[in-house]
């Protein structure tokens, strides 16, 4: 008999595996790795899942891995079965840890402050759950263990390496899902939205070139500092006066570097920051507008400006069918109050956007604030004191497994 919904015993099965999920998370947390190569983390994952009937793929560009589970219900992807991808990222952030946890980072200047240790452990837990049910699965589950999410475009490299499929004999999966923990969101809540969920993020650098001299005689110089300050202020006017508030953009200048002492006007000032946008059209237009503004203001004062834009991740766009599907699945597993529709996008960025550009799917947030705590006051992601309630991790594993199991049965049908 085909189940219309995921079996609600999934959460009980996940909780019975909580010790292993938490142990893997703590082992990864204690030895964070940065960038596209995370060999110690990858080895921990492989060791934790070595007893399972998974096929593994690896590529040349990263330490990323795809583990493939083929269902035993007689239907595979080559004769009409579905395939679904579940993703967990593995890399950490280049920052110190100040949590005081007994399993805190042992690597100076590196910390799992974005929850990727939890993402990986939950994905491994989902693999355990689905392997236990493999005889009833129709089709194929692909578990994507990805490095290089924190600005290194790891998902794009794994796509380019062909690890997710894309050829005639190995097509891309039919759907893709990911979870991201939120330490300052209510305990156990699952949240998402259709359309833009997260923004495109591009790095901007503006170098204002002038001519320095003695600070007592500014008229004999071309001072780049006030020009740089004028550019910063004008960028905010650009945002509010040239872009529709219903398709928002954000520009933040986070660093200004100029000069070395109190009485010397420098030759140059360098501004660095980020640009965020929710549509491809505004993303392109924003870059053009910033160049025009910076060069124009500098020129008006007899200086020059050079603008460099380094493209980051694209907009993370969730398929409306996948979000509806995720809402139904979360409510079936955890109750009617389990899912929250987000009214607005979040202006952070995610390289799961590369996957969702190729494969219909969705990313969901999972609230990991401690039960009963004032979740709004918890330290957020990218904080040196970020912590999460590990009791929620089995719920994340169950949700990932439930999404995969039900999609193989029904597709996006609710």
pLDDT at 377: 72
**What are the structure tokens assigned to 344, written together?**
């607005």
pLDDT of residue 164: 95
CATH class (in words) of the domain with range 200-311: alpha beta
The predicted pLDDT at position 258 comes to 97
Per-residue model confidence (pLDDT) at position 4: 46
The pLDDT value recorded for residue 7 is: 54
Q: Which CATH number fits domain 10-196+315-410: 3.30.1310.10, 3.40.630.10, 3.40.50.300, 3.10.580.10?
A: 3.40.630.10
Go through 11-21 and write b for each residue having 16 or more CB atoms within 10 A of its CB, e for each that does not: bebbbebbebb
Who's near 57: CB < 8 A, 6+ residues apart? 65, 66, 68, 163
Strands (E), 155-244: 175-182, 190-192, 195-198, 200-209, 213-214
CA distance linking residue 288 with residue 36, whole number of Å: 31
Give the C-alpha separation, 83 to 70, whole Å: 9
How far lies 206's CA from each of 151, 202, 235, 252, 255, in Å? 20, 13, 12, 12, 10
Q: Mean pLDDT, 10 residues at a time, over the chain (414 residues)? A: 57 96 98 98 98 96 97 66 96 96 97 97 98 94 98 96 85 97 93 97 97 96 97 97 93 97 97 96 95 98 98 96 96 93 95 97 95 76 93 97 95 83
Residue 351 · residue 149 · CB < 8 Å? yes
| Domain range annotation of the chain | 10-196+315-410, 200-311
Return all residues near 222 (Cβ < 8 A) that are at least 6 apart: 210, 211, 301, 302, 303
The C-alpha atoms of residue 326 and residue 319 are separated, in whole angstroms, by: 11
SS3 237: helix
SS3 call for 414:
coil
SS (H, E, C) 104-136: CCCCCCCECCCCHHHHHHHHHHHHHHHHHCHHH
Could you tell me the two tokens for 155? 């998902």
**pTM passes above 0.75:** yes
Alpha-carbon gap, residue 365 to 306, rounded angstroms: 39
């Amino acid at each position: 008999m085909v189940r219309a919904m995921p079996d609600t015993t999934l959460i009980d099965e996940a909780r019975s595996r909580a010790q292993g999920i938490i142990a893997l998370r703590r082992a990864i947390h204690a030895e964070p790795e940065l960038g596209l190569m995370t060999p110690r983390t990858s080895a921990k994952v492989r060791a934790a899942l070595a007893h399972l009937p998974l096929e593994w793929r690896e590529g040349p560009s990263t330490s990323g891995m795809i583990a493939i589970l083929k269902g035993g219900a007689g239907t595979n992807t080559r004769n009409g079965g579905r395939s679904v991808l579940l993703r967990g990222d593995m890399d950490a952030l280049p920052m110190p840890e100040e949590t005081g946890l007994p399993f805190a980072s042992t690597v100076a200047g590196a910390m799992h402050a974005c929850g990727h240790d939890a993402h990986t452990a939950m994905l491994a837990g989902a693999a355990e759950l689905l392997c236990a049910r493999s005889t009833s699965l129709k089709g194929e589950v692909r578990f994507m263990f990805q490095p290089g999410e924190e600005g290194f475009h790891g998902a794009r490299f794994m796509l380019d390496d062909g690890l997710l499929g894309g050829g005639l004999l190995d097509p891309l999966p039919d759907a893709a899902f990911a979870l991201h923990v939120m330490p300052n969101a209510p305990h156990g809540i699952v949240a998402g939205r259709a359309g833009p969920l997260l923004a495109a993020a591009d790095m901007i650098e503006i170098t204002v070139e002038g001519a320095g001299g003695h600070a007592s005689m500014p008229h004999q110089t071309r001072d780049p500092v006030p020009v740089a300050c004028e550019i910063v202020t004008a960028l905010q006017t650009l945002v509010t006066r040239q872009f529709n508030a219903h398709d928002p953009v954000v520009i933040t200048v986070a660093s200004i570097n100029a000069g070395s002492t109190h009485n010397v006007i420098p030759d140059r000032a360098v501004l660095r920051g980020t640009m965020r946008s929710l549509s491809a059209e505004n993303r392109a237009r924003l870059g053009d507008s910033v160049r025009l503004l910076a060069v124009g203001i500098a020129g008006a004062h007899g200086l020059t400006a050079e603008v460099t834009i380094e493209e980051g991740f694209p907009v993370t766009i969730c398929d409306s069918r996948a979000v509806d599907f995720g809402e139904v699945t979360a409510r079936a597993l955890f109750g009617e109050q389990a899912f929250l529709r987000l009214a607005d996008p979040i202006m952070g960025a995610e390289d799961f956007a590369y996957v969702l550009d190729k494969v219909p799917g969705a990313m969901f947030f999972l609230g990991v604030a401690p039960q009963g705590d004032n979740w709004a006051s918890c330290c957020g992601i990218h904080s040196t004191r970020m912590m999460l309630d590990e009791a929620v991790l089995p719920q994340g594993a169950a949700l990932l497994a439930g999404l995969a199991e039900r999609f193989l049965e029904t597709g996006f049908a609710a």
